[in-house]
Amino acid sequence: MRGAGDLVARMQMSKGMRNEEAKAYVAKKLSVGIEDLTDPVIMNEVRTDLGIGVMTPLPGVPKGIEAKFNIAKALDIDINCVKRFLARTS
Amino acid sequence: MAQYFSRMGDGSPIAVTKDEIMADLIEGSEDAADRAKVPALSQGEYEHLLDIFCAREKFMSVEAGKEVILTYDAGTLKIRRVGVNVDRIQALQIYEKLLGADTMELSHVDYSYKPVKHIAIFEQPILEQALLGTHIPLFYGAQPNLGMYSQPDGPFPNPAELMPMGKIQEAQESYEASVVDLVKDIVYVASLMYESGADGINLDTTGAAGDADFLAALLATEELRAKYPDMCIELGMAGEFVLGMHSQLKYKGHRLAGMYPHDQLKMAELAGATIFGPVANTNTSKSSAWNLARTITFMKPCGEIANIPVHPNMGMGVGGITVNDHPPIDIVSRSSKAMVEICRLDGL
């Protein structure tokens, strides 16, 4: 989560993508270079801008399930617990 | 001749020459190639490994751009194992926020599907609450652990007692009956956890009790895949070689006994697994160079032929890493670097 490892993992887990494909997919969706995915400085800014969760969250930024709603949107994937949250609240 | 710091498979420090390292690399690779009927490493790969082992740095890493993600087995259990007295949700947060984990796994201290079955409804609320407060993908995991289904721990006659009496058919029937119950338990627990929101299910240390154990994991994976087409199922192995405890079990026409990682991978794919975790076990009386070259020789064909992500097990006693409660970073980092750079892997 210091970079984008959790996001790359989500693509492997949800779409069965292999590592290179998953990295390329995430980089494209986040509009960053593949080499940026492991850079904690760049990714902290990107993650803050997209509201997808950061290591040191400031007050008011999306956290936990809030951030996972934004991750699902940013990566265009279904996240099981986000679907479950929606099903139980809407 | 210059001496280089290295270790034996049990972690003991040793001083070795370049020639000794190269000899061990070749011997370890050829051992794996002979057992699994796969190619030994190339001259270029031996030389790359030699460079890694002869580097003076204590910690090594892959070149930029070759990073892979990490998945974990027995995640929250390990926090308890080291005596850190925190709740499991806090353990998940520690991994996520303090250790920077890419993924994490919620697990029970009695890390097998059979005991978890009885308390699964108490595990669900923990998982549901954890999912509200964390960001990284969360697995729920446990071991198939077929051994828990035979007497005195389980309902079926113990094959290890039947076989010495010459009751081979009875032992095989006991294994077959155990498989049926184990599949039910895995599917039951995994279904509850997935319906509570888990991002994935981990079947860890698969095949520990031999071919029947592996068969149960494959059948459970197949059933779960049919029931939940989007479920992530990670299938991690117990060893490099499927023990033929039953010896005649087949999955979709393929005899499981004696399978090495590249064949195990194909079974995992056939069953519908999302991620496969192959294993190569460490030999404590051989050097780290021998163990790592052997591991890479097993893993390389997996990465080359896989249609799903491959996450080899790297930790105490597996993946070329020493059998020691505190794996030294020199060997952990060398093994990780070498595995990722030589094999086409997706995670560790």
CB contact under 8 A, B275 and A13: yes
Beta strands B4-7 and B13-16 are antiparallel
Question: Which of B100, B133, B274 lies nearest to residue A16, judging by beta carbons?
Answer: B274
Q: Give me the pLDDT at residue B1, please.
A: 82
**DSSP character for B42?**
P
> Quick one: residue B253, left, alpha or beta (phi over 0 = left, psi -120 to 50 = alpha)?
left
Report whether B72 contacts B105 (CB < 8 A): yes
**Coil, helix or strand for B271?**
helix
Q: Give me the pLDDT at residue B65, please.
A: 87
Question: Which of B67, B68, B274 lies nearest to residue A13, judging by beta carbons?
Answer: B274
- Whether B241 shows a pLDDT value over 90: the answer reads yes
- Whether B206 shows a pLDDT value over 90: the answer reads yes
Q: Facing residues of B233 across strands?
A: B201
At CB < 8 Å, which residues of chain A contact B? 1-2, 5-6, 8-10, 12-14, 16-19, 22, 34-35, 37-38, 52-53, 55, 63-65, 67-68, 71, 78-81, 84-85
Q: Give me the pLDDT at residue A54, please.
A: 96
* Three-point CA angle B75, B77, B79, nearest 5°: 85
At a CB cut-off of 8 Å and minimum separation 6, what does A55 contact? Answer: A1, A2, A40, A44, B97, B100
Question: Fold for domain B4-342?
Answer: TIM Barrel (3.20.20)
Scanning the structure block, which residue is given the tokens 């079974």? B267
CB contact under 8 A, A38 and B306: no
* Three-point CA angle B102, B103, B106, nearest 5°: 150
**Of B181, B179, B177, B174, nearest in space to B159 by CA:** B174
Q: Give me the pLDDT at residue A90, please.
A: 79
- In chain B, the largest separation of any two C-alpha atoms, in whole Å, equals 63
Nearest CA to CA, how far is B137 from chain A (Å)?
A: 7
- Cα separation of B314 and B333, whole Å? 10
- Cα separation of B241 and B244, whole Å? 9
CB contact under 8 A, A64 and B136: no
CA distances from residue B103 to A60, B26, B46 in whole angstroms, order as listed: 24, 35, 32
Q: Verify cis geometry, omega within 30 degrees of 0, for the bond prior to B13.
A: no
- Cα separation of B330 and B57, whole Å? 8
Q: Is B134 on the interface with A (CB under 8 A)?
A: yes
Q: Give me the pLDDT at residue B246, please.
A: 97
Query: Counting every residue, how long is chain B?
Result: 348
For chain B positions 3-62, those within 8 Å of chain A (CB to CB) are none
Query: Is the whole-model pTM more than 0.80?
Result: yes
Q: Facing residues of B14 across strands?
A: B6
- Whether B314 shows a pLDDT value over 90: the answer reads yes
Scanning the structure block, which residue is given the tokens 């007497």? B151
Q: Facing residues of B104 across strands?
A: B138
Tell me which amino acid residue B327 is.
Answer: P
Q: What is the pLDDT of residues B48-96, one digit of tens each?
A: 999 999 999 999 999 888 999 999 988 898 888 889 999 999 999 999 9
ipTM for the whole complex = 0.97
Mean pLDDT, 10 residues at a time, chain A of 90 residues: 96 97 98 95 97 94 97 98 95
CB contact under 8 A, A80 and B194: yes
Nearest CA to CA, how far is A3 from chain B (Å)?
A: 9
Where does B35-168 show beta strands of DSSP type E? 104-106, 138-142
Nearest CA to CA, how far is B234 from chain A (Å)?
A: 9
Q: Give me the pLDDT at residue B81, please.
A: 87
Please list, residue by residue across B173-198, b when 16 or more beta carbons sit within 10 angstroms of its beta carbon and e when fewer do. Answer: bbbebbbebbbebbbebbbbbbebbb
Contacts of B347 in chain A (CB under 8 A): 9, 12, 19
Q: Give me the pLDDT at residue B220, please.
A: 98
What six digits make up the tokens of B327?
A: 């794996």
What six digits make up the tokens of B192?
A: 């509850």
For residues B172-182, give the mean pLDDT: 98
Q: Give me the pLDDT at residue B251, please.
A: 98
* Helix residue spans in B140-260 (DSSP H): 159-162, 168-195, 211-227
Scanning the structure block, which residue is given the tokens 């039951």? B188
Q: What is the pLDDT of residues B246-269, one digit of tens each?
A: 999 999 999 999 999 999 999 999
Q: Give me the pLDDT at residue B135, please.
A: 98
For residues B136-165, give the mean pLDDT: 97
- Whether B273 shows a pLDDT value over 90: the answer reads yes
Quickly state the pLDDT bin for B101 (edges 50, 70, 90): very high
